[in-house]
Homo-oligomer: A and B are copies of this chain.
Amino acid sequence: MTEPRIWTAALIVIGDEILSGRTPDKNISQIALWLNVQGIRLKEVRVVPDDQAAIVEAVNALRARNDYLFTTGGIGPTHDDITVDAIAAALGVGVVVHPQARAALEQYYATRGGLNDQRLRMARVPEGADLIENRLSGAPGIRIGNIFLMAGVPYIAGEMLEALNGALDGGRPLLSETVGCWVPESEVANLLADTEKAHEGCQIGSYPFFREGRVGANFVVRSTEPAILHACIDDLARRLKARGFDVVLGEI
C-alpha cells in the first residue's frame, strides 16, 4: 500500500495580547479542528508579537515547508495591525488597496459613519492577493499564494473559515476514537506502547486527568484508515478490560 499524501498547514498567531497573557488564544484549536475536516493536518504553530521582523521570520520559515500557512490577528484598522505589511515584506511585494475590499467596506460603513482613511486600511492587501469573505464586519480575510490571513477575533476567524469550507485541496482526514479508563496511565504505559506497535498506521495518545478524587486517562487513537483505527481501538479496550479496568467507549 502506498502511503497517502499528507497535506499540512502551519499557523502563526500574531499578537502581543496573546504573549502578554491578556487574551487566552482560541484560534489554535478552532483552526486545528477545521483543518482536520478539510483533510489537512496542523503541523506547527508559532505565536509572535506585533513586530514585523518576527512575523517575517515565521512566515518565511513556515510557508515553504507546509502546503498552507494561516495567520490570525493584525488585519484591523489600528496602528498595531501590521500583518498585511509584514506578509508583503516577507513575500517581497508591495501593498495595494483591493478594489473589492474597498467596495465591501464602503457598503458596510455606509450606515455606520462612512468610510474614512483609517477604515480604508482594512482594504490594503499584499499585491496579487484575493479576498476571503467576511459577512460579519466588512473587513475581509486575505489569501495570497498559500497564505491565508484571518481575523484575530475568534468568531470572525470562524466566519472566514466557513467561507473557505471545501475550497482547499486536502487528503484523508486524521480520524480519532477515544477510550476512557479509570486507571493511572503509569499502570498501563507498556500496554499502550505494545498496542500501538501491534497496529501500524495508528498513534495512541494518553491524556491523564484527576476528577472527583479519582485518577483516569483518555486514550486517543489516531489514524487516517478507518479499518485500522477500529481494530486498534477494539484491541485497546479488550486489553484494558482483560487487566480488569473500567473502560468507557468514548471520552470520560
Contacts and interface: CB of A to CB of B under 8 A. Distances in A.
A209 B153 contact: yes
B47 A21 contact: no
A21 B46 contact: no
B24 A28 contact: yes
Contact of A21 (B29, B153, B203, B204): B29
Interface string A13-37: 1011111111111101111110110
Interface stretch (A75-83, A223-231, A232-240, A241-249): A75-83
Contacts of A46: 44-47
Interface string A25-60: 110111111011000011111111110001000000
Contact of A79 (B50, B121, B193): B193
Given A28-B24, A176-B22, A207-B17, A119 B78 contact: no
B42 A48 contact: no
Interface in A111-136: 112-113, 116-119, 121-122
A16 B205 contact: yes
Interface stretch (A85-93, A140-148, A162-170, A180-188): A180-188
A204 to B, nearest CB: 7
Nearest to A118: B189
A112 B183 CA distance: 11
Contact of A189 (B79, B113, B187, B203): B79
B44 A48 contact: yes
A189 B42 CA distance: 34
B203 A80 contact: yes
A196 B47 contact: no
Given A20-B42, A22-B176, A119-B186, 10 more contacts: A18-B29, A18-B45, A19-B32, A44-B54, A45-B47, A76-B186, A78-B192, A112-B184, A113-B184, A118-B189
Interface of A: 13, 15-26, 28-33, 35-36, 41-50, 54, 76-80, 112-113, 116-119, 121-122, 137, 153, 174, 176, 184-190, 192-193, 196, 203-210, 220, 222
